[in-house]
Amino acid sequence: MNTIMTSKAYEAARERALALLETMTLTEKLGQLSQFGTSIYSDNEQTFDDHFTEGKVGSYLTIKGAQRTNGIQRDLLAATRLPIPALFADDVIHGYRTTFPTPLAQSCSWNPEVARRCNEIAAKEAYRAGLKWTFSPMVDIARDPRWGRIMEGYGEDTYLCSRFSEAAVKGYQGDGDTVGKDRIYACMKHFIAYGACIGGRDYNTADMSMQTLHDVYLPPFKAGIDAGAATVMSAFEDVNGVPATGNRYLLTDVLRGELGFKGFVVSDAGAVVELIPHGFAEDIKDAVRLAFGAGCDMIMAGDPYNDQLSALIEEGKITMEQVDASVLSVLTLKYLCGLMDEPYVDEDGEDCFFCDEHMDVARKAAHETAVLLENNGVLPLRPADMHGKKIALVGQLAGAEGKNHLLGGWSCLCDPEHTVSIEEGLQNALGDVCELVTVRGCGVNCADTVEAHERESASIREAVLAASQCDVIIAVVGEEAGMSGEAYSRSDLTLTGHQGELIDALVATGKPVVLLVSAGRPLILTPYKDKVAALMLIWQPGSSAGSAIADLLMGAVSPSGHLTTSQPVCTGQVPIYYNHTNTGRPALGNWQFESKYRDCQIAPLYPFGYGLSYTTFAFEDIRLSSDKIMADGEIAVTLTVRNTGERDGAEVVQLYIRDLVGSTVRPVKELKAFDKVYLAAGESREITLRLPASELAFHDAAMNRIIEPGKFKLWIGECCTDERYEFDFEII
Ligand code: BGC
């Protein structure tokens, strides 16, 4: 596959980097491997200007803005012997200023083009602000919503995550020969298995079989690397006993060897020094030896490489060749993106922030990312039926106070001022067709004092009174932005504060309640599912939240999002994921001696892949090109998808397989292809889903990647439990 990392431009950049490398002192080389800047753990911006003269700064993180980055760059270049500009990086996760739905939400679109387009704009805005590199995408498989960082990734499924991974990388870097104007380098993170931290506790141990590591956690990284990802970030946690950041097997043998990665690895923030508390390194010097020796080229953030590597070279523990190889990778990327030739960014380029085009992309992305889970027909709210009526809009997240939270965690330089609240969006859509009554009801959280609880209960009574005089109630509940993301693991995924009480009281009015859930992660919605008239996960939809949600509620567009994480019944049910193995005692509900909990249902509340629309679809004339393939063959599944309803909409056609007998046990279902089909009312289209046998490969007990002959089931469905269309095939 041709990518920027295999382009002629890359080779040319490498040649220039080699020539420069020969002129550098060791101190200057180590500087290129050191990144500085504002830590996410503090607000103090540190530029380390005292390092400039010796050339000890290679990169910055979290410093942004065209003027600011140009200023630092100017000072740095004026002070150093060799004019090597710094590479400015940041966490541009779901938008730079214009903020898009969170990555988890984006995955629910089942349309990788959404991720590509959002990242393309994120890259453009970031580039205009002087950045050349983002610490994104996060492609950690996450099967446990207690882990707050589930919001930063693309859900629980390896195949789906891989498709988003490649799209995300191409969005940032583009598809061309170089990462030029309005493009930034991607960084695949966190290598690897960070999402598997025990119990969803952030930074915690990942302990898994090598087969799971390679078959479940690795493919999204491979997909991003094949798409040309220039950099990778090493993870914080220990993987099977060896911290990822000091793990030579992972960072060198697997990443560079097996996956063919050619760029450079940056450590996660502080992860090198953290090899000490891990009990893996004796002291900082030892930590640097282990991390750098493992293949961690650049350190985020600080001086340990600057301070320790020369002694380690003198002692023969690290070689000059190793240092040169790392510096060469960094310099090559500096040449490749044009930084060496043009270290400054145009200071007039920032006027594209929040422009109509970008806000429109955010709005369209949010159309596709919301997942409709229940609807008794109350939705859409047809403007024609709403004349003279009253809609109650309830919840902290619904009005102005909610703006910040609708942007979600890890929103880079977002701006609530430029966010359309749900109230504003609905008000704009409704005009004077009907009255919108906005009441707070209660907050997402409540301080644990008697007064605070009393205040919330009083506020709920007030909201209920107002809502009971309306025709429809729209309640917005969920999480504040800061309640998911890094270091926000939760042991209980039920609604916080008085939100449950609020929903119950609103339902008790007898008016139809449309429940919108805005959160970074799946929450427990079991108590409300059957009580409300409609239930929609809107996640954290970003800057155009209100406009998009109004479009969905009023039927300007049909919801088309589908779950990419199994929706748990209760917190005790997690981790729950659809592609589990069967066990010798599968949970079939037949008798007590099965692998299940006795105090909750076996199935999740909603399965992976589930999502409703305002229209209906039919799959017709499904046929397989063959029911027998060779290990290098492919099955093409062709079918006609018909929109059988009266509204335009989009259907996600999902292809699952099951390998019935394997030399190691196989998952009960695995997604292997999907297509999102956009159809006008009544329209139909023939599509073909391709299943190459290579997608059926897995690692056997001896860690050989094999494609095993044998019998398979294949399903075409609307979600992972849809078994209406079942087929058999065989690898011969
Ligand atoms: C996070 C990374 C992030 C880095 C820089 C770390 O704490 O784990 O995902 O890119 O900070 O902000």
What confidence tens digit (pLDDT) does each residue in 64-104 have?
899 999 999 999 999 999 999 999 999 999 999 999 999 99
Confidence at residue 282, expressed as pLDDT on a 0 to 100 scale: 98
Ligand 1 atom with least separation from CA of 236:
8
pLDDT of residue 39: 61
> Confidence class of residue 48 from pLDDT cuts 50, 70 and 90?
confident
On the question of pLDDT at 674 being above 80, the answer is: yes
Mean pLDDT in residue range 692-706? 97
Residue 29 has pLDDT above 70, yes or no: yes
Q: Choose among 434, 337, 340: nearest CA to 387.
A: 434
Question: Is residue 178 scored above 90 in pLDDT?
Answer: no
pLDDT digits (tens, 9 = 90+) for 451-482: 999 999 999 999 999 999 999 999 999 999 99
Q: What's the gap in Å between 323 CA and the centre of ligand 1?
A: 24
Distances (CA, A) of 270 to 266, 273, 291: 11, 6, 11
Q: Whose CA is nearest to atom 8 of ligand 1?
A: 268
Q: pLDDT at position 43, please?
A: 64
Ligand 1 centroid distance, CA of 296 (Å): 15
Residue 91 in contact with ligand 1 by CB distance below 6 A: yes
Q: Which pLDDT does position 47 carry in this prediction?
A: 84
Q: What number does the ligand 1 atom closest to the CA of 135 have?
A: 10
Catalytic pick among 91, 140, 238, 268:
268
The neighbour count for residue 403, using CB atoms within 10 Å, is 24
- Mean pLDDT, range 415-432, rounded to an integer: 95
Ligand 1 pocket check for 268: Cβ under 6 Å:
yes
- Residue-averaged pLDDT of the chain: 97
Angle at 623 between CA 622 and CA 628, to 5 degrees: 145
Q: Which two tokens stand for residue 169?
A: 């990388």
Nearest Cα residue to atom 11 of ligand 1: 269
Does residue 268 carry a catalytic annotation? yes
Q: How far is the CA of 297 from the centre of ligand 1 (A)?
A: 16
Instruction: Answer yes or no: is the C-beta of 60 below 6 A from any ligand 1 atom.
Output: no
Residues 6+ away with beta carbon under 8 Å from 227: 1, 3, 165, 166, 167, 169, 170, 173
Q: What angle do CA 262, 268, 271 make, to 5 degrees?
A: 120
| pLDDT confidence of residue 46 | 76
695 pLDDT more than 90: yes
Average pLDDT for residues 546-570, to the nearest whole number?
98
Q: How does pLDDT run across 282-333, given as a tens digit for each residue?
A: 999 999 999 999 999 999 989 999 999 999 999 999 999 999 999 999 999 9
Considering only CA atoms, which residue is closest to atom 7 of ligand 1?
Answer: 269
For the chain, percent of residues with pLDDT exceeding 90: 95
State yes or no: pLDDT of 575 exceeds 90.
yes
Using a 6 Å cutoff on CB, does residue 143 contact ligand 1?
A: no
pLDDT at 301: 85
**pLDDT at site 731:** 98
Mutate to test the pocket of ligand 1, among 35, 40, 139, 150 (most ligand atoms within 8 A of CB): 40
Mean pLDDT (whole number) for 37-59: 82
* Tokens representing residue 412 in the block: 């880079």
The residue whose two tokens read 């915690």 is 204
The whole-number pLDDT of residue 682 equals 98
Residue 135 in contact with ligand 1 by CB distance below 6 A: yes
Judge whether 37 and 61 are in contact, CB under 8 Å.
yes
pLDDT band at 42; cut points 50, 70, 90? low
What average pLDDT does this structure show over 645-653?
98
Q: Which residue in the block uniquely carries the two structure tokens 């940041």?
A: 90
In this prediction, residue 536 carries a pLDDT of: 98
Ligand 1 centre and the CA of 410: distance in Å? Answer: 10
Note the pLDDT of residue 384.
Answer: 87
How many angstroms does the Cα of residue 267 sit away from the middle of ligand 1?
A: 9
Contact 137, 197 (CB under 8 A): no
- % residues pLDDT > 70 (the chain): 99
pTM over 0.75: yes
**487 C-alpha vs ligand 1 centroid, how far in Å?**
11
Q: What is the pLDDT of residues 95-114, one digit of tens each?
A: 999 999 999 999 999 999 99
First to last CA, the chain: 28
Strands (E), 228-386: 231-234, 238-239, 242-243, 264-267, 299-300, 371-375
**Does any ligand 1 atom lie closer than 6 A to the CB of residue 40?**
yes
Judged against a pLDDT cut of 80, whether residue 564 lies above it is answered with yes
Confidence check: pLDDT of 200 > 80: yes
Q: Sign of the C-alpha dihedral, residues 355, 356, 362, 366? A: positive
Within 10 angstroms of residue 498's Cβ, the number of other Cβ atoms is 23
Q: Is the C-beta atom of 237 inside 6 A of ligand 1?
A: no
pLDDT in tens, 216-260: 999 999 999 999 999 999 999 999 999 999 999 999 999 999 999
pLDDT at position 44: 67
C-beta separation of 623 from 639 below 8 A: yes
Residue 486 pLDDT exceeds 80 = yes
